[in-house]
Amino acid sequence: MYKDKGFIFCNEDGSNINLASFSKRFGEFIKESNLKHIRLHDLRHTDATMMLPIKSTCQSCIRETRAFKRVNNTRPI
């Protein structure tokens, strides 16, 4: 029986997904789709980088919402 626990991605019963399993399945999906190799974790940084040009988004806001330890992790190289 499904019980909403507030997760965006979850198992059929609403419980959280095992990160290792999810990451493995993501890698399989990328390979099966003939896409360029990317780790699931890389999407976290891609998301933050894409937010930088948005004028209403400050670097410290990105850092806080992505749980980066330093603002430098959100600055373009």
Please, what is the end-to-end C-alpha distance for the chain in angstroms?
47
- H/E element holding 48? helix 40-51
Show pLDDT as tens, one digit a residue, over the chain (77 residues). 999 998 888 889 999 989 898 899 999 999 999 999 988 888 877 777 777 777 666 666 666 666 666 555 545 54
* pLDDT at 27 (0 to 100): 93
- H/E element holding 18? none
* pLDDT at 9 (0 to 100): 82
Q: Quote the pTM value.
A: 0.55
The residue whose two tokens read 């789709």 is 33
The token duo for 2 is: 């499904």
* pLDDT at 37 (0 to 100): 92
* pLDDT at 13 (0 to 100): 93
